[in-house]
Amino acid sequence: MEEQAKYEVLDKRHIPADVPVKAETSDIVIAAINKGYDPAFIEKMMDLEERRYREEARRAFYEAVAAFKAEAPAVKKDKYNKYFDSWYTSLGNLLDTYNPILGKHGLSVSFPTPEQTEKSMSAECRLSHRMGHSDSMKLTAPIDQAAIGKVSGQRSRNAIQDIKSTFTYLRSATCEGILGVSGTEASQDDDGNSAGGKEAEFITEAQAKDLTATIEHKRVDVEKFLAYMGVEEVATIQAKDFNKACNALKKAKGKQRED
C-alpha cells in the first residue's frame, strides 16, 4: 500500500512545460520531477535512463538481426554483366526477397542521399530497428562508364544512365554488406540454362547500335524501353529478344521532334 501511495503522483500533466520528458522516461524519473527534486539530480537520472534505453535498443537490434538471419532465404544472382562476364544480384531482387522478413522483425533498410563528385559516387545503406538503433555501410566507386561497345566504340547509354547504374550497383553492394548476405548462383535461368554454366547470348554490337539509333531517332523513353525489356542497358538484351525489341520500338510513338 505504501509503494502504491508513493507513486500516485505519476501524472505527466503536472510536469512543468519547460522540463524535457521523453516518451520512454521511466515512472521513477517522472516521480522525481513531480516531487520537485534538484534539476541537476533529475538530469543525471534522465541521462542514465537514456543510456539504458540506448542499450536496450542496441540489444533489440542485434536480436532482430539474428532472427532475420535465421529466417532469411538465399537470394539468387539474377542479372548478368556482359562486360565483366559475371552474374550478380539486382537491388530489386534483394529488396523483394528480404524486405518482408526485415519488416517482420522490426527492421528496415534505407539509402540516404548519395554523395557525388564529377568522377565518383558514395552510397550508404542503413539498417534500422523500430527502437531507434541502426548500423550502416558506405562504399565509394568511380562513375560507371563501362557501357561502351568493344567493336563500335560507341556508348550504349547516356551520362544520366551511368550515374543510375553506379548508384544502383552501390546500393546493391552496401545492402548485401549490411545484411551479411551474398547472392548464390541461380540453379536455372529463364531458358533452363545454368546461370553459372552456359553464358547468356546477347545481341551483337551491330544490333545494339541499330536499336540505339532507333531510340534516338524516335526519341523513345529509354528508361521505359529498358524496363519493358527487363534489362539495364541495350547491350544486355538477349539475342532471343531482339525481334521483341525491334517490334516494341516500331510501335513506340516516342516524343515529337521540334527540329
How confident is the model over 118-168, as pLDDT tens digits?
Answer: 889 999 999 999 999 999 999 998 887 765 544 444 555 677 878 888 888
Range name among 7-11, 79-83, 215-219 with the lowest pLDDT average: 7-11
Give the other-Cβ count within 10 Å of 39's Cβ. 10
Range of the domain at 79: 72-195
> What sign does the dihedral 55-70-80-78 (CA atoms) show?
negative
Do residues 113 and 129 both lie within one domain? yes
Domain boundary among 161, 195, 229: 195
Do residues 190 and 207 both lie within one domain? no
CB 90 within 8 A of CB 81: no
- For residue 77, being part of any structural domain is answered with yes
CB 108 within 8 A of CB 179: no
d(CA 51, CA 49): 5
d(CA 158, CA 152): 16
Do residues 184 and 132 both lie within one domain? yes
Give residue for cell 563500335: 152
> Is the pLDDT reported for residue 21 higher than 50?
no
Do residues 208 and 191 both lie within one domain? no
Do residues 164 and 76 both lie within one domain? yes
Do residues 179 and 86 both lie within one domain? yes
pLDDT of residue 147: 55
Do residues 185 and 94 both lie within one domain? yes
Do residues 163 and 87 both lie within one domain? yes
- What would the pLDDT profile of 50-72 be if each residue is shown by its tens digit? 788 889 999 999 999 999 999 99
- For residue 206, being part of any structural domain is answered with yes
Domains identified in the chain, total number = 3
Greater confidence, 37 or 70? 70
DSSP alpha helices (H): ranges in 7-126?
Answer: 27-34, 39-71, 91-104
